[in-house]
Homo-oligomer: A and B are copies of this chain.
């Protein structure tokens, strides 16, 4: 019985190790450096063990993405908590969002842009992402006006996401980044 327990514990540890290795490799060298062979070498097991834990490489990336959601939620919550008034709260959370994307591009990509098998439109959203979204929604609540809060939040979020992704791909002038953020915040915090 106890042996069984140890086995399961070791298995769980190994799964954590896989996710951690994937995340570290992606953050330090980008996702294109994350191959199943390198991952296997990193955890000091052979390739096929990866497939006894995850359905495929996509599933590993999805696991990393879910972890990343938790980090994002923490950052956003901190930004919201630090704000002194509603409008500054929106500015702060927007800055925090952009900073997260810039500081952890690989993680951000895993969550939002890579075609990973995470369909969190409406059904099985990972709870970590729901928390991040809720932080945004709470911050925006005073400015939603007549619009549905969730829809309003989705729209603002899309604005942030667009700014972040277009800039990273070199489609926007980098030096205007803060000005664009300010415009977005300004337009979404007008009352009436």
Contact = CB atoms under 8 A, between A and B. Distances in A.
Interface of A: 112-113, 115, 118-122, 147-148, 150-152, 154-155, 157-163, 165-166, 169-174, 176, 179-180, 183-184, 187-188, 190
Closest 8 A-B residue pairs measured CB to CB?
A162-B162, A158-B162, A161-B162, A159-B159, A158-B163, A155-B183, A119-B170, A155-B180
A169 B115 CA distance: 7
Contact of A172 (B113, B121, B148, B152): B121
Contact of A163 (B112, B155, B171, B172): B155
22 contacts: A113-B165, A120-B170, A120-B171, A121-B170, A121-B172, A121-B173, A121-B174, A122-B173, A147-B183, A154-B172, A154-B173, A154-B180, A155-B183, A157-B166, A158-B180, A158-B184, A159-B159, A161-B162, A161-B165, A162-B163, A187-B188, A190-B190
A30 to B, nearest CB: 10
A151 B170 contact: no
A174 B121 CA distance: 8
A40 to B, nearest CB: 24
B158 A172 contact: yes
